[in-house]
Chains A and B, each alone.
Chain A
Amino acid sequence: MSRMNMVQALNSALDVKLAGDPDVLVFGEDVGFFGGVFRVTEGLQQRHGEGRVFDAPIAEAGQVAVAIGMGAYGLRPVVECQFADYIYPAFDQIVSEAARLRYRSGGEFNAPITIRAPYGGGIFGGQTHSQSPEGLFSHVCGLKTVIPSNPYDAKGLLISAIEDDDPVLFFEPKRLYAGPFDGHHERPAVSWDGHSKGDVPTGRYAIPLGEAAIAREGGDLTILAYGTMVHVALAAAEETGIDAEVIDLRTIVPLDIAAIEASVRKTGRCLVVHEATRTGGFGAELSALVQERCFHWLEAPILRVTGWDTPYPREFEWEYFPGPQRVGAAIRRVMAE
């Protein structure tokens, strides 16, 4: 065990996989010599060599495309997309090629690739450095989408993502890299020191894709969240004094529908929270699933708290970001029904 923040935990996952599997390669913009703009690949090139950890030209489509070919012929590449906002040039390769390679070759070929991308707001990044595009990828059949909320999960999930034989989008909530963030931007930042999920094994361990975690047990309502919003939901639950059960989905595809169903049947109420824009977001899918499966147990309509249907406005950072006040207000509304 070692104390790690999320950056160190991700670095450790890559290190473990590079050391244990000669087919694993790590590349992307500024990841080799420089160690990544968020330092996730720091020291990996020195330890594993330029042939295994290297810089790529600024060409996201090319990077992902190359990874698909590498994956089809025996390697297990991990591509870093510097910010999730830069992933769109690669969208065609991800959607038309990576996601379908297996299906269109009758299961003969697959694309065991992992695309890591820091995502989300709370850092005054403005509209091209704050987006949450997970819903664009969860809509595509053939992809898996993972979003950790703490260092322990980040490492175990990244190892599973790399070991998985399908293409995995691995979105890292960049606001959580250095510490848990509950949306109280007016308070001093806290680190992962002293947080139970900052204790991370140094060796290999895996958290299976498709298993949610109960971040807080409760009986009054179920809050479905992932990434940064897990911490916001926990804060809102404490501050409203309502006995909410907070489910950290951890992977949105595959989805742990059994955990969701069990919780909502227990509480009879459900709130969905994400940072991404509202219309057509993954929250809509969650809301539909809960309605289909738990209708007779529901005592109130399912509500969503999300980002606004606008680009991320730098000057309205905290109006856009669904903080504990907005989540708290929604908790009270769901409880009032």
Chain B
Amino acid sequence: MTAARAEDAPPVAVANRPAIYDRVGAGGLREALRRMHLIRRFEETAEDFYVRGKSYGTMHLSIGQEATAVGVCAALGDSDYVTSTHRGHGHCIAKGAEVGRMFAEFLGRETGYCRGRGGSMHIADPAKGNLGANGIVGGGIPIAVGAALSAKRLRTGAVVASFFGDGANNEGAFHESLNIASLWKLPVLFVCENNQYGMSVAFARSTAVASVADRAAAYSMPGVTVDGNDFAAVAAAAFEAADRARRGGGPTLVECKTYRTRGHSRSDRNRYRTKDEIEAWKARDPIERFERELSALGVATAADAASLREAVEREIADGVAFAEASPAPSTAELMRDVHTPAAAAPR
């Protein structure tokens, strides 16, 4: 989102305007809103693929968590990296993935991000610094630390944001990663999307600390907890952490409290939580809230928002058409990408 930000003059000041909005800029804010809508509509459309039998297997929707993905990525440029999770569509789109290629991956087409061989949990996008969604809980966290060490050693100035869930914070990989990143002062943003559940298990029943951010103290790094449904709060924390990382100040643990309003995966009947709880969180929808705020601040009027939503609809429709017109992968290439071809092998 750097490009969109740069071309804008700072918008007029309004009372209660979050300070971080000046840094993001009016264009950046509108782009953030657009990406949040794009994520929502991508996932609703993907859900529909399954209902209509166009895609199969499982997938995990991040509906209700869009402000976290977009808020963090607002602080990142294309040369910064992210690692993502099994619930990764939002991270991918927030980091600039094309929805057409993502749909193609869902439909198992050659133009998909994993050449149609992976599906929902296997979307990586090196051009945008996305090191990949991951079917293994906690799998991306240590990889982010390694990418950050590369960035430090190669002096690229890049930072790495690693997304993971509240459930993942109990994997050994998480703890090893935080220690290494802190010890070596690496430019990592450890971003916990605390959506209150790891599958059926409520956070308090899986985790010994009251907040994931409390873990930061054990690794001598700053830890903050923010409202993950509030774009401004997430972006402010992400910019601060990214600034520190770029200065050589090391990693930060950012916990974003949020909620997935859909089930864990497609087969979830939500028996471990109440309807009231789900409805209460739906009333705090991050997109509606952000849209209302931008409208009140005059950054995006109702008309702006409407035309932005229309553009998102077109992008979704074009993406679906692209995916559906794309060729299926060929079985002749079954062995492709298992190993690096000899000619391209490292020195």
**Chain A interface residues toward B at CB < 8 A:** 29-30, 33-34, 37, 55, 57-62, 85-86, 88-89, 123-129, 308-311, 313-316, 319-320
Beyond known contacts A34-B271, A34-B272, A57-B198: 15 more, CB 8 A cutoff: A29-B199, A55-B201, A55-B205, A60-B171, A86-B136, A89-B171, A123-B57, A127-B117, A127-B118, A128-B135, A308-B334, A308-B335, A314-B57, A314-B117, A315-B117
Could you tell me if B122 and A127 are in contact, using CB atoms closer than 8 angstroms?
A: yes
Residues of A within 8 A of B201 (CB): 29-30, 33-34, 55, 57
Contact check, B119 vs A57: say whether CB atoms are below 8 A apart: no
Contact B328 A315 (CB under 8 A): yes
Q: 8 nearest interchain CB pairs? A: A128-B135, A315-B108, A34-B200, A57-B170, A124-B57, A313-B117, A58-B167, A57-B206
Contact in complex: B338, A61 (CB < 8 Å): no
Nearest residue (CB) in A for B208 is A57
Cross-chain contact A314 with B137 (CB below 8 angstroms)? no
- Distance A316 CA – B118 CA, assembled complex (angstroms): 10
**Is the CB of B207 closer than 8 A to any CB of chain A?**
yes
Return the contact of A315 from the options B121, B137, B172, B329 (Cβ within 8 A). B329
- Report whether A126 and B173 are in contact in the complex, using a CB–CB cutoff of 8 Å: no
A126 to B198, CA, bound (A): 21
Q: Total interface residues on B, using CB and 8 Å?
A: 37
> Are B335 and A85 in contact, with the CB atoms below 8 A?
no
Which residues of chain B come closer than 8 Å to A313, judged between CB atoms? 117-118, 334
Chain B: residues with CB nearer than 8 A to chain A? 56-58, 108, 116-119, 121-122, 134-138, 167-168, 170-173, 198-201, 205-207, 267, 271-272, 328-329, 331, 334-335, 338
Is A30 a contact partner of B57 (Cβ separation < 8 A)? no
The answer to whether B170 and A128 have CB atoms under 8 Å apart is no
Check if B57 sits within 8 Å of A126, measured CB to CB.
Answer: yes
Given contacts A314-B57, A315-B329, contact A55 B206 (CB under 8 A): yes
Q: Which of B118, B122, B206, B267 contacts A58 (CB 8 A)?
A: B206
Q: How far is the CB of B137 from chain A (nearest CB, A)?
A: 5
Contact A309 B117 (CB under 8 A): no
CA distance A320 to B117 in the complex (A): 12
Cβ–Cβ < 8 Å partners of A129 in chain B? 57-58, 135
- Of the A-B pairs whose beta carbons lie under 8 Å apart in the complex, a sample of 29, sorted by A's number, is A29-B201, A34-B199, A34-B201, A37-B199, A55-B206, A57-B167, A57-B201, A58-B138, A58-B171, A59-B171, A62-B172, A86-B136, A86-B137, A89-B172, A124-B56, A125-B58, A126-B135, A127-B117, A127-B122, A128-B135, A129-B57, A308-B335, A311-B338, A313-B117, A314-B117, A314-B118, A315-B108, A315-B117, A319-B334
Nearest chain A CB to B311 CB, angstrom units = 31
Q: In the assembled complex, how far is the CB of residue A41 from the closest CB belonging to chain B, in whole angstroms?
A: 12
B272 touches A127 (CB 8 A): no
